[in-house]
Amino acid sequence: MTNNQIISIAKKYLGKSVDVDGAYGAQCVDFSNRVAMDADGTRFTGNAIDMPYTANHGKWVWIRNTTTFVPEGGDIFVESWASVHPYGHTGVVLDATLTTMHVLEQNYDGKMYVIENNRPYSKDGLVGVWRFQGGGDSTSTQNSSQSFAGTYRVDANVLNVRSAPSTSGQVVATYAKGQNINLDSWYTVANGYVWGRYTSASGQTRFVAIGRSTGKTESDDFLVKIK
């Protein structure tokens, strides 16, 4: 399924009130959940602000916002509106720039139905996006930082190597404490962890969790960068 197909799913609900859980009326998260459920059966956890921590996220990959990140069409965005209310906000991106998002969203500006909106957004307020894996655009081009590239020492007793950047990805190998791994500049965030990537000797792309996604280095990180 491509990003454009996700957009097509979302547009079916334009002008309609979507209430997936039958509670509190047509909330923003109901619309995002409806789109994800139509795509692959995924239902995100809790309110909008809880969505980044959804454990069972199907084919959706979480991408954390950065100062240079631009959402893509088909992304499900998550914003933090802590100054307004603690529940956050979510919807589906049609297209975006660094300062504006063209979106479909519900329960925005008091409208309890899905509207099309082209509005400014705060880079600080955008938490990140869920992107359908295998869509028309690669997540790796949106998650690249030279600060991630380098040699890491394993600081966990056992570190799982997975086939996908997710705790549901197949474990294909393990590293022991003290061993080194060379990661490239790609990264993403999923299941509450920051994930790095490397290419194995067989030419396969492999993924490892670096540590919890807290925005900084932590004492319990699984990998420690040494050069």
Q: Where residue 213 sits, what CATH number does that domain have?
A: 2.30.30.40
For residue 127, is it within any domain? Answer: yes
Q: Residue 138: what pLDDT?
A: 38
Chain centroid, CA 68 distance in Å: 15
pLDDT tens-digit profile of 34-57? 999 999 999 999 999 999 999 888
pLDDT tens-digit profile of 28-37? 999 999 999 9
Structural domains counted in the chain: 2
Please check whether residue 175 is in contact with residue 158, taking contact to mean a CB–CB distance below 8 angstroms. Answer: yes
For residue 197, is it within any domain? Answer: yes
pLDDT tens-digit profile of 126-182? 999 999 985 544 333 345 555 678 999 999 999 999 988 888 888 999 999 999 999
Q: On the CB side of 93, how many CA atoms lie within 13 Å of its CA? A: 25
* One domain, residues 96 and 40: yes
For residue 108, is it within any domain? Answer: yes
pLDDT tens-digit profile of 102-130? 999 999 999 999 999 999 998 889 999 99
Q: Where residue 87 sits, what CATH number does that domain have?
A: 3.90.1720.10
* Domain end residue (candidates: 112, 138, 164): 138
Determine the structural domain holding residue 42 and report its residue range: 3-138
Cβ neighbors of 186 (< 8 A, separation 6 or more) are 140, 143, 144, 148, 196, 197
* One domain, residues 122 and 177: no
